[in-house]
A and B are shown apart, each in its own frame.
Chain A
Amino acid sequence: MIKLITTHTPFSLLFAEVLVGIFILLIFFTLVFIPWSKIKPSNGIREIVLRVYSWWAISVLVVVMFLVPGDIGTIALGFLTFIALREFITKLSVAKYYRRTLLYIYLTIPIQFYLAKYGSTYSFNTFIPVFMFFLIPTRNIIMGQHKKYLEFNGKIFWALMLVVYGFSQVTYLRHQSDFTNYEGGADLILLLVVFLTQINDVLQFLWGKTLGRHKLSPNISPNKTIEGFVGGALTLGLITYLLASYLPFTSKIEACLFGLGISVFGLLGDLNMSAVKRDLGVKDMDDLIPGHGGLLDRLDSLSFTLPFAVHYLILRGYF
């Protein structure tokens, strides 16, 4: 089967192996969790079943993205980023105070994705954090009013960083990285980051379900427990240790540490989105697909693990 994939697609051997492994796991999860939710329904399991559905969607989308020409993949990702950003901004009541500035906020998406694909590392990494940081207040100043000025600047800039800067890392990684001594290349590390992030969510849920006693953050997310987090992090560290040959790192210990990092940032991303929703007083960011919430509800942990992974790889000089 793996041979069949490598001969008919541009995927490398390593990539094909991981892909087959992921789809076997997906089928396994579908067969385990959906009957479980039918027999013993609870809030936590409902959340996991929703995640299983969204993994199918993410997996199919990711495979399609790797198969279509790079430009179409980038445009599609840019469009998804737009939907995610729109979900966020339409929830902010402050957005309508500086209506005109929002045009520039939405125009950031094509520029940032263009820079992610063709721009230098400097321009990609400074366009939103530096240039937009000054451009947003500049446009507001031109409007000549100060009502909700600080609140607008802060919230909108933060949304841009979280959503647009965060998800453009995918395009940057795919098109501007040049791994030496790593057969899988950018596509495989990207696939693995998405995979490890999602697996981490499940592991933390399962450990919390079996051993969880102490709440990690009762105010933000009452379902999270310290035991779940520690168990999930250690298991993910073990998984990355075992999968070290599929990762670009030189030592198995570093692969293990990378797994621990993904676990920490995955938890933080999850708690971050929960805190955002609680602050905004909404249950879900959107109802794109009924019962599944919006895009940002599904991509909460990824919004932290993706930038972590890319910047870790840059800092350690892997590309």
Chain B
Amino acid sequence: MATLAFLLRVILYKLIFGPILRLIIGVKFRNHKNLNFDKPKLIVANHNSHIDAVAILCSLKMRDLRRVHPVVARDYFYKNFITKFFAKVFLNSVSVSRSKEFENPLANCEALLEKGHSLIIFPEGTRGAAGKMKEFKLGAAILLSKHSEVEFIPAYCDGFGDIMPKGDWLILPFGSSIQFGSSISVSKQDEDVKSITQKIRDSILELKPIDKES
């Protein structure tokens, strides 16, 4: 079953969404060839659109589609068994609760990191308006401070909020790119959760294209 889901994802991201994003929408993928998930990593990115997650999954190598999991909101993606099924099979997702119903909402994520898998986290927690970055939630930083062997890879998604804004279904081509940074490690002794969050935020903003007209 897991292999079947993996094959479906390969078809979906390598043969359907990848070519569509590259050829029809014209998304530019930058520095994605160097991504390596032999050790557990966190991909942290800004979040404007569902396309963000799709684009990150499209830029992965085939074998990484098995061991990289986007972290999705339990109340949105797992609200009924159909959406839960799709999120599990097609996104390979792991859920996190946004309400305070569990003692450790990050338990699932930590289990995966301990297994050597990697996660995709959007620290803004929800999709924001195009081109603006919200306050970051602390989840990613907590994971990084608990698991010091895990490095994070910042990624900046530019223009996806125009391609498919929140609350809209119509996908149209706009100038867009996804830029990955090199992986960064944090040591837990000298940094607290707040400063790690700031470090993540700065590293993402560093990747923002400078020639962007306002």
Indicate if A11 sits at the interface (CB-CB under 8 A). no
Secondary structure call for the B interface: loop
Indicate if A138 sits at the interface (CB-CB under 8 A). no
Indicate if B110 sits at the interface (CB-CB under 8 A). no
Chain A 214-233 against B: per-residue CB contact (8 Å), 1 yes, 0 no?
00000000000000000000
Stretch at the interface among B39-47, B65-73, B135-143, B168-176: B168-176
Name the A residues within 8 Å of B168 (CB-CB).
99
Chain B 1-38 against A: per-residue CB contact (8 Å), 1 yes, 0 no?
00000000000000000000001001010000000000
- Measured CB to CB, the closest approach of chain A to B175, in angstroms, equals 4
Q: How far is the CA of A89 from the CA of B28 in the complex (A)?
A: 16
Q: How large is the interface on B (under 10, 10 to 19, 20 to 34, 35 or more residues)?
A: 10 to 19
Name the A residues within 8 Å of B174 (CB-CB).
90, 95-96
Indicate if B190 sits at the interface (CB-CB under 8 A). no
- With beta carbons under 8 angstroms apart, the residue of B26, B130, B172, B214 that contacts A102 is B172
Interface residues of A in 71-127 (CB under 8 A from B): 83, 86-87, 89-91, 93, 95-96, 99-100, 102-103, 106
Q: How far is the CA of A158 from the CA of B58 in the complex (A)?
A: 34
Q: How far is the CA of A146 from the CA of B172 in the complex (A)?
A: 21
Indicate if A287 sits at the interface (CB-CB under 8 A). yes
CB <8 Å contact, B172 and A103: yes
Name the B residues within 8 Å of A102 (CB-CB).
172
CB <8 Å contact, A99 and B170: yes
CB <8 Å contact, A93 and B213: yes
Interface residues of B in 125-173 (CB under 8 A from A): 130, 162, 165, 168, 170, 172-173
Name the B residues within 8 Å of A281 (CB-CB).
213
Name the B residues within 8 Å of A95 (CB-CB).
174
Chain B interface residues (CB < 8 Å from chain A): 23, 26, 28, 130, 162, 165, 168, 170, 172-175, 213-214
